[in-house]
Structure 1
C-alpha cells in the first residue's frame, strides 16, 4: 500500500495509525543523570499530538558508560522509571504508539562524560578499551534489562540501535571489531551479539511487545553487503516487528562503487520481509518524498528534521499532499513555538544552516 495514512498492522501489539514514525532524535534535553525532563516530555508528546503513528524517544543508554551526549535520556537504572512511565502514558493519551530506542555509544561516548569509553576491541583512535568476554555478556544482558524496563514503564516496544557507528554497529564492523572469540572474526560472529539481544528481548518481554531494529548500511566502517545480510536474516527470522533504515538520504546511491547504479534503499526493499515492516529515514522533508518512499517499496517513513521543523508534520501532509517543510534556516522563535527547549536549540546550532543567526538575521 502507498497511502501514508492507511493503518499499518504490526506482527505484535497494536497497529500504527498511519505510516509516519518519529525518528529517534538527539535533543540533549534530559537531566544529567538520565532522568526525563519536562522539556523532553513536552517535545515528544507534542509530536504525538501532531499525528505521528509511532513516537520514539531519542537514543537512551542502557549503561552509564554508554552515554553518547549530554542531556541523554537514560534507561539503565530503575531511577529512570518514574519519568519513563510518565512519558509512555503521555504519548499513549495523545494517540500514538510509543517506543524507547535502546543505545550504547561505544567508542563514540565522550570521555568527559564516561571516562574511558568501551569498544568491541581496543580502539586507538578514540582511546577506547576492548570489552572482556564477561563484559560482552553484561552488555547483552543490560540491553535486555532496559527493554524490560521500557515494558514495565508502559511503552509499546523498543528499537535496538544498531546504526551510526555505536557499539552494536562496532561489533558488526570488520574494521572496528578485532575480537578473536565468538563475537569477532567472520560476519556471523560479529552479528552474534545483536541477534542475542533481539532473542533475549523477545524471550524476556510479553508476547505483544514490539521490537524494532535500526541499521545504517554506510559510514563508520560498515560494509553494505554485510548489513544487507543482517537485514535479510532479521526479517527472515521474524523476531522483530520493524526494520528502520537510517540512510542519510532516501534517494541516494551507495557510496561503495560496487553497488552504484540504483538507490541504496532498493537493496533492502527487494528483500523478503515476511511480516516484518520496513521503513527508511533520510531527508524526507515533504509530502511528495514521504509518499515516494512508500511507492519505492517501504511500509513506513521515519521523519527526523521535518518533525523538528513542524511538530504536526503528519497532519500538514494529510491536509496537503504537496506540503513542504519550512526553508532553512529558521528562527529561534520558530523552534521554541515547535516545542524545542533552549538546550535542544543550542544543539541544533551545531547543524550548519539550520538556525538563523539572530544578530545578522541569516
Structure 2
C-alpha cells in the first residue's frame, strides 16, 4: 500500500510541532495578489486545491518584507502596518485540512525588474548578468549599514505579523539569488566591512535575522531557512560555504533547512548551471543533501524536479526529513493524494528546450504561473502547455499587474 510509505509518516520538528507527513508544497511565485499586494480570492482558490491535496506542509510563494522592493508585479507583501485580515483568511484556508501553513519571507535585493520602479539594493552595486536580458533589471545601489539593519528589522517584523495572522511558521529565503543570497555569495558581496569577506561575515545578516525571529516569536513557531547548496557559478557561494552556514543555523535551533540552488543567472532550480555541475534529472539537490545530512542535526528538505513518488521516497530514505514538491503541484495540485491511490502515477513538470537558456528559464516559469492562474480561476490545468503562448500570456498578465502596482 502506498499509504504505508515513509512519505505518509509523521515527523516532529525540533520546535515540537509534528508534520502529519513528509510531503511539502514548496514555494512558487504566484504574481496573483489583489490590489494592495495582499492575498485575495484567486489566491484563496489556488491554495484551497493544495490544502485538500493531503500535503503535510504548505509553504507560500514569496512574501516580500518591503512593498517598495518587489520581485515582480502582483506579488504579496506583509509589513508591520498591514491589515492582517487577508493574511488570516489565507492561513485559515491553508490549514483547513490539516496541513501546516508556512509563509516564505523574502527581499529581492538587486533582482528587481526595472519596470517595477522599485528600490533595488544589494551588498555591492553589482548588476545582474542575464546577457541581453540584463537591461530588464534595475541597477542596484550598495547598501549602507543602516540599510542592512533596516532590512533585518523588516524580516523580523514580517515574521511576527505572520505569527499573528495564524501561520505556523516562516521560511526565510536565502536562495535563488535574492538579497540574503547576494550577501552570502562572494560574486555579489564585495564589501570590506563586517558584512563581507569571510563566510562568517557574509552570513551575518542571515544569522541576525534568524536569531531575532527566534527571540520575538513563540517557541513552537517553525523557523525554516531556504539555502542554496551552491550558486553554481564559478568562484561563487560553494557547498563548503553552505555547510558552514548550516552549522551556524544549527546553533540557533532552526527547524528545517530547505536545500535548493542557483539564481536567475544560473537557474539550477530548473536543472541548469553555469559551472558545468551535473544535476540529477529528478531530485536535483539530493546529492548535496546526502553529504550535508552527515554534517548536521538540522532536519533537511530538498526541492527541485520531483514528480514521482518513488523519487520522493528515495529522498526521505537517503536522509532528508521532508521532500518539497513545486512545479509538479502547479499542474497536479493533488499529486500527494494521487500517489496514495496509484503509486506509479507521475506528475508533470513543464520544460522548455529553447537554446537561449535565460529565455527558456523565463518560459519555464511562465508555464508554471499559467497553471497557477488557471487554478486560481478554477479552470483545469494543462499537462502540455505551449512555452511560447505561456510566455506571451505571462507577459500580458505581468504588464497588467505592473500598471496596477506601479500606477
Partner of 1:339: 375
Q: Distance in 1 between matches of 2:271 and 2:126?
A: 30
Shift of 1:110: 1.4
In structure 2, the partner of 1:184 is 196
* Equivalent in 203, 224, 241 of residue 226 of structure 1: 241
69-78 vs 44-53, greater mean Cα deviation: 69-78
Residues 218-242 of structure 1 show CA distances to partners (whole Å, capped at 9, x for unaligned) of 246432321232123323x152100
Identify unmatched segments of 5+ residues in structure 2: 129-137, 262-266, 352-366, 394-407
Distance 2:389 2:324 in 1: 19
Residue 98 of structure 1 is matched in structure 2 by 101
Q: Partner of 2:82: helix, strand, or coil?
A: helix
- Number of matched pairs: 351
Q: Secondary structure at the match of 1:279?
A: strand
Partner of 2:387: 352
- Determine whether 1:24 maps to 2:27: yes
- The residue aligned with 1:167 is 179
What SS does structure 2 have at the residue aligned with 1:154? coil
Change (3 A) 1:261 1:161: closer
Structure 1: distance between partners of 2:195 and 2:349? 46
- TM normalised by structure 1 equals 0.86
Structure 1 partner of 2:123: 120
DSSP-derived class of the 2:289 partner: helix
User: Which whole-Å deviations, capped at 9, do the CAs of 1:293-321 have from their partners, x for residues lacking one?
Assistant: 11222111100011111111111111222
Distance apart, 1:200 and its partner CA: 0.4
Label 1:265 to 1:229 Cα distance change in 2 as closer, same or farther (>3 A): farther
- TM-score of the superposed pair, with normalisation by structure 2: 0.77
Residue-by-residue CA offset, 1:139-164 (whole Å, 9 max, x unaligned): 00110000000010011000000000
Aligned to 1:242: 256
Q: Residues 202-281 of structure 1 correspond to what in structure 2 (within 5 A)?
A: 202-216=214-228, 217-219=230-232, 221-235=236-250, 237-247=251-261, 264-271=285-292, 272=294, 276-281=298-303
Q: 1:140 to 1:116 in 2, by over 3 A?
A: closer
* Structure 1 pair 251–88 and aligned structure 2 pair: CA distance change class (3 A): closer
Contact 2:279 2:285 in 1 (8 A): no
Q: 1:275 to 1:188 in 2, by over 3 A?
A: closer
Give 1:117 deviation, angstroms. 0.7
The structure 1 residue matched to 2:151, chosen from 113, 124, 139, is: 139
Candidates 131, 139, 142, aligned match of 1:130:
142
The separation in 1 between residues aligned to 2:319 and 2:5, in whole angstroms, is 9
Distance 1:106 1:86 in 2: 29
Match in the other structure for 2:6:
3
Alpha carbons of 1:2 and 1:119: their partners in 2 closer, same or farther (altered >3 Å)? farther
Q: Aligned Cα RMSD in Å?
A: 3.4
Residues 224, 256 of structure 2: 8 Å contact kept: yes
Name stretches of at least 5 consecutive residues in structure 1 with no aligned partner: none
Give the equivalent residue in structure 2 for 1:75: 78
Cα deviation 1:71-109 (Å, max 9, x = unaligned): 111112432511111111122222110010010011001
Give the match for residue 84 of structure 1: 87
Q: Does 1:12 align with 2:15?
A: yes
